[in-house]
Structure 1
Amino acid sequence: MSAASSPPPRAHSGNRRDEAARLAVLHAADDLLVEHGFGALTIESIARRAGVAKQTIYRWWPSKVEILLDVLIEDSEKRFPVPTEEQPTADSIRRYLRAFARFVTRDPAGRVLLALLAEAQHHSATAASLHERYLDPRRAAERDLLARATAAGEIAPDLAPDATMDALVGPIVYRAMTGSTIPRALVDTLVTNLLKPRPR
């Protein structure tokens, strides 16, 4: 067969394999955290559960904290993305907070958030990574959400945006950290009292 008529070279499947390994690591870290807690989670146990070499993990992540942050970032975007509609309303913010409450009480990745928040109280490096990669970008999006809703006259909070979000999510996080349920009425009351939605 001449070179001109030879078939094109086959595409490499390395990227697909890498993505499968990456997802296996994220799922393994998530599962092991739920099963054994943050303290017992190790790179060795993640590699064993994911079926990859430790060197593969260290090539992509410097620590288990960074693995868990990838889990948290990806699952948060799927489970409760910050609303991006042009004119948010009190109802869309309420739905966002309800989704957040479900996330921290029912979703395995919600356990990741709670574990990282707890670990951040004792380790400054964990706190710095958590803020830089997750808390600060999400807060910026939440701040913009409140600003757009306020500008549209949909809500009229008395507090500044950061204080408003702290007051909204604080009770939710506290109840999740203490293993309590989060009634829908709690979220509704927070929205009513703190955002003062425009009457319909």
Structure 2
Amino acid sequence: MSQQVNPAPRPSADATRRNEGSRRAILSAAFELAGEVGFDKLTIEAIAARAGVGKQTVYRWWPSKGAVLLDAFLMLSESGAGEAPGLPDTGDLEADLKLVLRATVAELADPRFDLPLRGLTSAILNDTTLAATYAERLQAPMDALKRRRLQAAQAAGQLADDIDLDVAIAMIWGPLLDRWLLRTGTLTTEFADRVVETALRGLRG
């Protein structure tokens, strides 16, 4: 007679809620601390203490502080997913892109986001696994929204049919990120507007 193997007990609803509560507390703590002390001084021990959990709880779910911070940004993006399912499409591509890039300037200038985002960027540059996760879970969905808006502009005859949309995305959003990351100049809404106007001159064909 074969021995019967009992299935592992499933976690209770209360345990699931506790785990989710701990996970969100850890992600919030990582984001807050990265903004307060910067990524270099951020530690797993400090994250655990702020979240009210043991550091082994953090290590059980994430291999590094960079991975924690990436999931913190993913949590933020998911919390706003219902508010912005796509880029604005009023029929005026230039106005829509200026609106989006102005919002990007405001976000990059927000001190709550500046240090955490710089920390995440630093972690990605030094961790190929983290970079791949970032590209798949955060960058790719955002690029898909941008590509969809540009495709709608092509269908409306506002952009040339033969442009490379990946290159177009880099032309429109890249200058803002470069100026912010490298601190090569002041990031302003006026600069964002000029980027849109200059890019569209070439992309309209």
TM-score normalised by length of structure 2: 0.75
Q: Which amino acid aligns with 2:194?
A: T
Pair 1:45–1:108, CA change in 2 (3 A)? same
2:4 — aligned with what? none
* Counterpart-to-counterpart distance in 2, 1:186 and 1:134: 25
1:106 — aligned with what? 110
* Counterpart-to-counterpart distance in 2, 1:109 and 1:134: 16
1:120 — aligned with what? 124
1:83 aligns with 2:86: yes
Superposition RMSD in Å: 3.1
1:39 — aligned with what? 40
2:96 — aligned with what? 92
Pair 1:81–1:99, CA change in 2 (3 A)? farther
1:130 — aligned with what? 134
Percent of residue pairs identical: 35
Contact 1:121 1:127 in 2 (8 A): yes
* Counterpart-to-counterpart distance in 2, 1:46 and 1:59: 14
Contact 2:38 2:115 in 1 (8 A): no
2:61 — aligned with what? 60
Contact 1:32 1:41 in 2 (8 A): yes
* Counterpart-to-counterpart distance in 2, 1:17 and 1:64: 21
1:161 aligns with 2:165: yes
Pair 1:132–1:53, CA change in 2 (3 A)? same
Contact 1:68 1:112 in 2 (8 A): yes
2:5 — aligned with what? none
1:187 — aligned with what? 192
Contact 2:29 2:47 in 1 (8 A): yes
* Counterpart-to-counterpart distance in 2, 1:26 and 1:114: 16
* Counterpart-to-counterpart distance in 1, 2:17 and 2:66: 24
Q: Could you list the runs of 5+ residues in structure 2 that have no partner in the other structure?
A: 1-11
Displacement of 1:103 in angstroms is 1.6
Contact 2:90 2:96 in 1 (8 A): no
* Counterpart-to-counterpart distance in 1, 2:186 and 2:162: 28
TM-score normalised by length of structure 1: 0.76
Contact 1:104 1:114 in 2 (8 A): no
* Counterpart-to-counterpart distance in 2, 1:82 and 1:194: 24
Displacement of 1:107 in angstroms is 5.1
Q: Which amino acid aligns with 2:73?
A: L
Displacement of 1:188 in angstroms is 1.2
Partner of 1:181: helix, strand, or coil? coil
Pair 1:117–1:186, CA change in 2 (3 A)? same
